[in-house]
Structure 1
């Protein structure tokens, strides 16, 4: 821990990364290397990408009319949104985690509280939680949103694919109905092709039946690049 603190402090002092390389994490109150700085280094060394977006990001950025957030503020905003989402969905079964090397946020909606078996109608008891997620997405407008549907392996491939698509579409439509700009949202079903647990047990199958909301922040640099690539 002491070595890490020294390393972070040293990196914060390196002029090549500038003072914007370090931010205060609202979750812990500690200084840390910003996601933007990490992304910049990753881009130079290993082909860093702004997450995988349904349909690609250039057209979606332009179509959504997003202005983008200043690069130095991306990491702080992400940490703040993660903290708020965790607080707003506490006790609901929703899981909020950073993904794609910290460049995006994944909100996992558990099937048991989101939908009834074989249903694509969002449970009334879960709508209040989903309302809070929608409120967060509207509060942080400089991002694109992918909604992914997943099933377990029970049933035919064709049925599972259709069910996953309809469930993802239902969540996407609900978010839009609650004030999130539809131009920011895309949905896709993956059927049973992306399990996160074994389908040999009920516990595993339950984990595999899920809808995920992926939040990918858009920077001003992303917007400029998209306009240049029109």
Structure 2
């Protein structure tokens, strides 16, 4: 048992901020500072170093289909369901859902409206194991910044739990929290703070 204690201790500190850092130091200040998770093979050569034939293979699937065919089908499905979104990314199509999962102040419980949106996304994702959802939790500026960081993670995790309970695969879900540091709206107003209490959802392709 004693031999296991160092292992538990090392696991406990995985992912901690460097000594001397504060949340304000490491928090993203813009959307560009909060990139999508990199699911690609880290050993893949950068595009500028690839030969033309390698670039062609990188843009096609195992049967020669275009890399983003599946994502364009998803975009059409979202349109048919009345879900607003926009497309981002250059080398790979990424779909950012415009509708947000909103929360009451200091709460992480899903509303019926939130469940309705998530149920539609479940229909889209259930038959597409090659796709992933990135779940980004946020808060307004009310309260302590460290508590807000924890609350933002609780919100994204609550969305993740709901999706897992409705048969989505854990490998399709990536949740994280950004606390109060990426507001969409003005925190000086009631409506603005309500706007900022949210989980944003992004769809991307992780493998063939």
TM-score (norm 2): 0.63
| Contact 2:105–2:194 (Cα < 8 Å) also in 1 | no
Deviation at 1:125, TM superposition (A): 4.5
Query: What do you get for the CA RMSD once the two structures are aligned?
Result: 2.9
Which residue pairs with 1:123 in the alignment?
111
User: Paired residues, what number?
Assistant: 156
Aligned mate of 2:89, from 100, 118, 123:
100
Q: 1:83 to 1:207 in 2, by over 3 A?
A: farther
| Contact 2:96–2:201 (Cα < 8 Å) also in 1 | yes
Please say if 1:83 is aligned against 2:76.
yes
Structure number with the higher helix fraction is 1
Deviation at 1:198, TM superposition (A): 2.4
- Unaligned 5+ segments in structure 2 are 1-33, 43-59
Distance 2:124 2:78 in 1: 7
Deviation at 1:136, TM superposition (A): 0.7
1:170-207 deviations in Å (ceiling 9; x for gaps): 10111111121112212100011111232223333232
- Which segment drifts farther, 131-140 or 69-78? 69-78
| Contact 2:133–2:174 (Cα < 8 Å) also in 1 | yes
Distance 1:198 1:117 in 2: 15
- Unaligned 5+ segments in structure 1 are 1-50, 61-68, 221-230
4+ long deviations beyond 4 Å: none
Which residue pairs with 2:187 in the alignment?
199
